[in-house]
Amino acid sequence: MRIGIDDIASYIFCPVLQEKKRHDIIMPRLTFTERCVRSALIEGERNACLKDSVVTPRKLLRAWEGIWWPAATEKKLSMEEANEVSLHASCQFSDYCKYDMSDWTFPTVGVDIETEVNLGPVTLYTSADVVKADLSGNKPSTVLVSFTSRKLSLRQAATDPAIKAMAYAFHSGREENVVHISVDIDERSDKIKAVVSVFRPDDIKRIRIMLEQVARGIYSRNYYQNPWLCKECRVCQDFTS
């Protein structure tokens, strides 16, 4: 059985959501515009990786134009609306490049990287939008970047099951940290917000224990009930009736 990090997160929240594959209730999907912004950021990072360079607002805008205008034409957006979205995206690209993750300290080593690990009876698969190296001189780290519209606080990101599962899946097994950067590209926000979570080797060990328990629950279809979360919740009635 193969499961994704969205299965992990949704099962912990509600087993019924995981069975019905309604991950979008707790992990909202990107909108049309957000998907285009994400694609432009990934393409810009890919070009930076191939050319041993770094991303800049101009390079990201060049990638955006190659993605956005054909998509906007297919979507039959008016020129005024398409230009307005493009202007907003350019502001987001400039904001993205203000973060350290876009400079030479954190060079890009790959984009759209997939990986999978065994968790007892199931295989966990996931992917990272961007993977970077850490040349800051601190403890060796694998840096994962995810483009999302989830507005997570530092505390929420540090305890989020999906982020923890991704960190575990990309851990090399060596004595190094895994750094996850959640980049909020919500189209309703004027600025991009990046939330950083750091997982040390001891954290990774604890995450594995949690993941193995969840994996066994999913495999055995153990539909537990949480008295606190399930109180006054109609999810089971709404999705099983």
Strongest mean pLDDT among 17-31, 69-83, 183-197, 216-230: 69-83
Domain total of the chain: 1
- CATH code, domain carrying 122: 3.90.320
Question: Is the model's pLDDT at 240 over the cut of 50?
Answer: no
Is residue 225 in a domain?
no
pLDDT of 26 above 50: yes
CA 70 to chain centre: 25
Q: Name the 3-class secondary structure at 92.
A: helix
pLDDT for residue 239 is more than 80: no
Residue 92 lies in a domain: yes
pLDDT for res 103: 81
- Whether 212 is covered by a domain: the verdict is yes
In a 13 Å sphere around the CA of 69, the CA atoms on its Cβ side amount to: 7
Q: Is the pLDDT of residue 225 over 90?
A: no
User: Could you give the CA distance from residue 44 to residue 38 in angstroms, rounded to a whole number?
Assistant: 10
Does 45 fall in a domain? Answer: yes
- Range of the structural domain that residue 65 is part of: 2-219
Query: Which residues, including other chains, have CB under 8 Å from residue 239's CB and lie 6 or more apart?
Result: 16, 17, 20, 22
pLDDT value for 93: 94
User: What pTM does this model have?
Assistant: 0.88
Higher pLDDT pick, 229 / 69: 69
| Residue 127 located in a structural domain | yes
In a domain, 89, yes or no: yes
Whether the pLDDT of residue 230 is over 90: the answer is: no
For residue 239, tell me if it sits in a domain: no
Q: Is residue 236 part of a domain?
A: no
Residues 113-167 pLDDT 10s: 999 999 888 999 999 999 998 888 777 889 999 999 988 888 999 999 999 999 9
175 vs 181, which has greater pLDDT?
A: 181
